[in-house]
Structure 1
Amino acid sequence: MNNTENNNFFFEIKKYSNLLRELVIRDVKKKYRRSVLGILWSMLNPIMIMLIMSFVFSHLFRFDIANYPMYLIVGQVFFNFYAEATNFSMGSIIENGALIKKTYVPKYLFTISRVMSSLVNLAFTMPAILFIAIVTGNPLSWHFLFSIVPIFLLFIFCMGVGLFLAAAAVYFRDMIHLYGVIIAALNYATPTFYPITIIPEKYRYVMYFNPLTHYLDAFRDCIYLDKLPSFMNISMCTLMAGIMLLIGAYVFKKCQDNFILYI
């Protein structure tokens, strides 16, 4: 994008900020509609899944990891944010087709709102991590606050992936089904519930071709290991986020004028 396009982008974000906020609120409310416990499920769900998986992998498969419940919930919450943000984004244009046909609204707002609503859901989930940290005696310090950096970088990365998927899904509806398989593969290719040390040394380098491994490592450093991520890792995450956002924005911009013909 050139400077004029960048200025137009930020001008439109400001101009439609109220609409963007309403879209985010709508998406958050939609997730918890007709739920008795509402947003409490954001905290209860990861805790309950963590308890089940902790029992399975601590007692049956015996992963030897210090404070495994904390290790697990950090990975689980982080990966769930990526999966939810990108899955929600993929259908953002298709599901708002009726509105897009009726009036002019910058189409990327629908995709951005989905990623932002997932970020809000992640914020609702963070107390669950704090709760497990306190219960298990995991050290907590100001490094916890630094976790906002890898979260923000993953948010930008998800924005790029979301824009790409939203455009692709309009033209290729099979992408919606295919991405479910990709998410399942990524779940096993990201060390969310197992230590990367169980991967044989000669194959371990393959794990680092997965961008989520780098983001998760930075997040775990802040919360689980109570230390700052390495400068190299943060730099890598920043670079990947920037590249993915540029790719997603470029593909979306090239395709958006023809969306109305396919939705």
Structure 2
Amino acid sequence: MFDKRFISNFTKYKFLLVELVKRDIKGKYKDSVLGLLWSFLNPLLTMVVLTFIFSYVFQMSIDNFPVYFLTGFLIFNLFNAATNGAMESIKGNAGIIKKIYLPKYMFALGTTCSELVNFLISLVVLVLVMLVTNAPFHPTIIFTIIPVFLLVIMAIGVGLILATLTTFFTDIRYLYGVFTMTLMYASAIFYPVEVLPQQYQFLFELNPVYLAIAGARDAILGGIFPNIKYMIVLGIVAFVLLFIGMYIFYKYQDKFILYL
């Protein structure tokens, strides 16, 4: 069974995962003057611009908009970066894959893990903004780990699906770019869900990325445990997509070499 092979290979090649994560983190800002500092500046500058636009220009009323926005932005960016990186992982490592045998899923998994590390680094910005805006640090902030964990599981599954499809159909990357842009606007990152009429607000519950964002906001801003209903739905979607991703990847991985 592919699941047994997955576990067996993971145990045998876990050292490779560590090296891939190190490589991706070092390579991401390799040619950048500011290097890793962009992990802090990117969300910070985006927050400043959107805080001005939505808080002052549009006078949108959201309690502590900077923290509200950053929470959503960082979690969405984790999913977006992880899945896009995984999507390119097979084609991007074609040279290595052609030369030696390695568990191919490690490249997708390594990209996801490196983006998780970048996400954790970016949380420093969120903490600083909370301090500057006098946002309370609720004990429930620890429960943010639940929606983040489930989001990462989902990102792995989606990443494996995308890595498989992109190997055979290059155009997937362009279609996925349009999809993620739409997903960003559908995740209530910089606006409250109340902008939609009451009868349409249920549409947000169909978006698992929004469920993760809402759960994190509950823990960080609301001082409450993440919405249990949301976390159950997110968990089901995450593990179903993980299973589908593993199945599809293992079914077609032996054909990858013909398209690289």
State TM-score, norm by structure 1.
0.96
CA distance in 1, matches of 2:85, 2:31: 19
The residue that corresponds to 1:61 in the other structure is 58
Tell me the percent identity. 40
| 188-197 vs 248-257, which moves further | 248-257
CA distance in 1, matches of 2:227, 2:204: 18
CA distance in 2, matches of 1:61, 1:108: 45
The residue that corresponds to 2:163 in the other structure is 166
Aligned letter for 1:93?
Answer: I
Q: 1:239 aligns with which of 214, 236, 241?
A: 236
Aligned letter for 1:150?
Answer: P
Question: How far apart are residue 207 of structure 1 and its match?
Answer: 2.0
Q: 1:113 aligns with which of 110, 114, 124?
A: 110
Aligned letter for 2:182?
Answer: A
Q: 2:90 aligns with which of 84, 88, 93?
A: 93
In the TM superposition, what are the counterparts of 1:71-82 in structure 2 within 5 Å?
71-82=68-79
Q: For 2:154, what is the secondary structure of its paired residue?
A: helix
State TM-score, norm by structure 2.
0.97
Contact 1:74–1:224, Cα closer than 8 Å, also in 2: no
Q: 2:122 aligns with which of 125, 146, 160?
A: 125
Aligned letter for 2:90?
Answer: I
Per-residue CA deviations over 1:164-223 (Å, capped at 9, x if unaligned) read 000000111000111111111001111100000001122222222111111111111111
Aligned letter for 2:98?
Answer: K
CA distance in 2, matches of 1:227, 1:205: 21
In the alignment, is residue 70 of structure 1 matched against residue 64 of structure 2?
A: no
Contact 1:39–1:124, Cα closer than 8 Å, also in 2: no
Q: CA RMSD in A?
A: 1.2
The residue that corresponds to 2:139 in the other structure is 142
CA distance in 1, matches of 2:82, 2:256: 21
Aligned letter for 2:114?
Answer: S
Q: For 1:36, what is the secondary structure of its paired residue?
A: coil
Q: For 1:224, what is the secondary structure of its paired residue?
A: helix
Aligned letter for 1:88?
Answer: G
CA distance in 1, matches of 2:3, 2:171: 32
The residue that corresponds to 2:218 in the other structure is 221
Aligned residues: 260
In the TM superposition, what are the counterparts of 1:170-189 in structure 2 within 5 Å?
170-189=167-186
Contact 2:81–2:115, Cα closer than 8 Å, also in 1: yes
Q: 2:149 aligns with which of 152, 158, 163?
A: 152
- Give runs of ≥4 in structure 1 deviating > 3 Å: none
Q: 1:192 aligns with which of 186, 189, 194?
A: 189
CA distance in 2, matches of 1:172, 1:7: 28
Unmatched segments (≥5 aa) in structure 1? none
CA distance in 2, matches of 1:255, 1:63: 48
In the alignment, is residue 48 of structure 1 matched against residue 59 of structure 2?
A: no
Contact 1:94–1:170, Cα closer than 8 Å, also in 2: yes
